Amino acid sequence: MSIDKKIEEIKEKFEAIDGWEERYKVLIMLGKDLSPMNPEYKEEKFIVKGCQSQVWLYPEFIDGVVKYSADSDALIVKGIVSLLIHVYSGQEPDVIVNHKPDFLKELGISDHLSMNRTNGLASIVKSIKMYAFAFSLTKS
């Protein structure tokens, strides 16, 4: 499924939810539903630098697409990471690198985070794109 289609589904889901308290609950549920990350990937080299909470991001390049797994020790962050993983996993590296994650702003997520969490979110997106860029170099 394309990034745009995935984002459209997320937008429809969030637009149907009234108020940020309920949206936070959905983010927490998404975090709880995130597939467990293999414990062997929870090591220092997969920690996203710049996040207030701990976030691990593990990339794989399989059959021409990037697949991510992730985890966090903070529930809301884990929910946000779950959204990002859903959107970007299964995409070709060049598609990920060239995509602007405006949907986070459009959903209002970045507007309802503290400055530290907003910076952390930017670090997660940067890491997702950095891994994709590295994979785009190896496929050539």
Q: Which two tokens stand for residue 117?
A: 């969490």
The domain total for the chain is 1
pLDDT single digits (tens) 97-130: 999 988 888 888 777 776 677 788 889 999 999 9
For residue 37, give its domain range: 3-138
The one catalytic residue among 30, 51, 81, 104: 51
Q: Which CATH number goes with the domain that contains 108?
A: 3.90.1010.10
pLDDT single digits (tens) 52-69: 889 999 999 999 999 999
> Is 5 an annotated catalytic residue?
no
The answer to whether 93 touches 18, Cβ cutoff 8 Å, is: no
